C-alpha cells in the first residue's frame, strides 16, 4: 500500500521574503486584518489568534521583485476564514481601501483574490460545508463561477470590522512548478498527498490534499513548463509549513524522504526539504 499523509495534516505559517517590511506590516494588519505577534528590525510574525504565526515577513538585503509568472514559486497563499459573514467583512474592507480584487465561486468555496503591495498573491476564502461538495471519478468538482458579491456583502451587514477572527487558518497554498508529472511524483508518490482534482489536461494544474480536503496545495505550470527557480534575493516565498498530527508520523515521513535519497535536514525544530523546483517545505 502506498504511503498516505495522515488525514488531519494541516498547513502552518507561510514565510515571505520582502523588500519593505514596514509597508507590508501596515498592509497585512490594516487591510487584511492580521495582528503583530513578534517583530524586530528585519522580521515580523503576524497572527490571527494571538498565539501562533500565520504569516512571517522577512526583509532581505538587495531584494528584487521579478515579473509575474516568470519563475517557480508562489502563485498565492490562501487565508481561510470561518464564515461567509467574515468573507463579507473582508470584502468590504478591501473595497474601502480600494484594493483591486478578483473573485470566484469554486463550488466548494467562495474566494477573493488580490495581491499585496509587492505582488505576492493572496486568496481569502470561506469553505462550503463538506456535505455540499461533489466528487466525480475521484475528483472534487470545482469551478470558477461568478461570486455572489451582493449576497456576501449582505452577510456582513453593519457589523464592525475587527480584523480576522482567531479561527482563521492557512487553508492552502498554490505554487508555480516546472513540470506537473515531476510534481505529482514528489508530492503524491513520495510525500503522500492525495489527488483531489487532476486538472492537468484542462487547466495544467493539480490539486492535492490530506483527508479528502478540496486542496491543501495547488500546483500549476502557468509560469511555463521548465520555468526556472527564482534567485535567492528575489521577493516571494521563503517557505511554507506542513504540520503533522504526531511526532511518530513526522518521523515516518522523514525516514521515507531519506530512503528516497532526497535531502531533508532538521532546522529550528522542523524538518526542511525542497521540492524539485526550489519551493521549501518545513515539516513539523
Q: What is the chain's pLDDT, residue by residue, as a tens digit (284 residues)?
A: 489 999 999 999 999 999 999 999 999 999 999 999 999 999 999 999 999 999 999 999 999 999 999 999 999 999 999 999 999 999 999 999 999 999 999 999 999 999 999 999 999 999 999 999 999 999 999 999 999 999 999 999 999 999 999 999 999 999 999 999 999 999 999 999 999 999 999 999 999 999 999 999 999 999 999 999 999 999 999 999 999 999 999 999 999 999 999 999 999 999 999 999 999 999 99
Residue 150 lies in a domain: yes
Put simply, whether the predicted model's pTM sits higher than 0.85 gets the answer yes
Residue 4 lies in a domain: no
Residue 40 lies in a domain: yes
CA angle 15, 184, 176 (to 5 degrees): 40
3-class secondary structure, 136: strand
Residue 47 lies in a domain: yes
Question: Phi/psi at 24 (nearest 5 deg)?
Answer: -75, -35
| CATH number of the structural domain spanning residue 118 | 3.10.180.10
Q: What is the reported pLDDT for 2?
A: 82
Domain count for the chain, please give it.
1
Q: What is the reported pLDDT for 284?
A: 98
Alpha carbons 217 and 206: distance in angstroms, whole number: 8
Contact by Cβ (8 Å): 207, 214: yes
- Domain residues for 171? 10-283
Residue 2 lies in a domain: no
Amino acid at each position: 500500500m502506498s504511503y498516505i499523509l495522515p488525514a488531519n495534516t494541516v498547513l502552518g505559517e507561510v514565510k515571505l521574503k520582502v523588500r519593505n517590511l514596514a509597508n507590508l506590516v501596515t498592509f497585512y494588519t490594516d487591510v487584511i486584518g492580521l495582528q503583530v505577534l513578534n517583530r524586530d528590525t528585519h522580521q515580523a510574525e503576524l497572527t490571527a489568534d494571538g498565539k501562533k504565526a500565520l504569516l512571517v515577513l522577512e526583509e532581505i538585503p538587495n531584494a528584487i521583485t521579478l515579473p509575474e509568472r516568470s519563475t517557480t514559486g508562489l502563485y498565492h497563499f490562501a487565508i481561510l476564514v470561518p464564515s461567509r459573514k467574515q468573507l463579507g467583512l473582508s470584502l468590504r474592507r478591501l473595497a474601502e481601501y480600494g484594493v483591486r480584487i478578483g473573485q470566484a465561486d469554486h463550488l466548494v468555496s467562495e474566494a477573493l483574490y488580490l495581491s499585496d503591495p509587492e505582488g505576492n498573491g493572496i486568496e481569502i476564502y470561506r469553505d462550503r460545508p463538506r456535505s455540499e461538495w461533489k466528487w466525480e471519478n475521484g475528483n472534487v468538482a470545482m469551478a470558477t463561477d461568478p461570486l455572489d458579491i451582493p449576497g456576501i456583502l449582505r452577510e456582513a451587514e453593519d457589523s464592525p470590522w475587527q480584523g480576522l477572527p482567531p479561527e482563521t487558518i492557512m487553508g492552502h497554498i498554490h505554487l508555480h512548478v516546472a513540470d506537473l508529472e515531476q510534481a505529482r511524483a514528489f508530492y503524491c508518490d513520495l510525500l503522500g498527498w492525495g489527488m483531489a482534482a487532476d486538472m492537468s489536461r484542462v487547466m495544467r494544474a493539480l490539486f492535492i490534499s490530506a483527508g479528502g480536503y478540496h486542496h491543501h496545495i495547488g500546483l500549476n505550470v502557468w509560469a511555463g513548463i521548465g520555468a526556472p527557480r527564482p534567485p535567492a534575493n528575489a521577493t516571494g516565498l521563503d517557505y511554507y509549513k506542513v504540520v503533522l498530527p504526531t511526532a511518530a508520523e513526522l518521523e515516518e515521513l522523514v525516514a521515507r524522504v531519506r530512503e528516497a535519497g532526497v535531502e531533508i535536514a532538521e532546522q529550528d525544530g522542523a524538518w526542511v526539504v525542497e521540492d524539485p523546483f526550489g519551493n521549501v517545505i518545513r515539516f513539523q
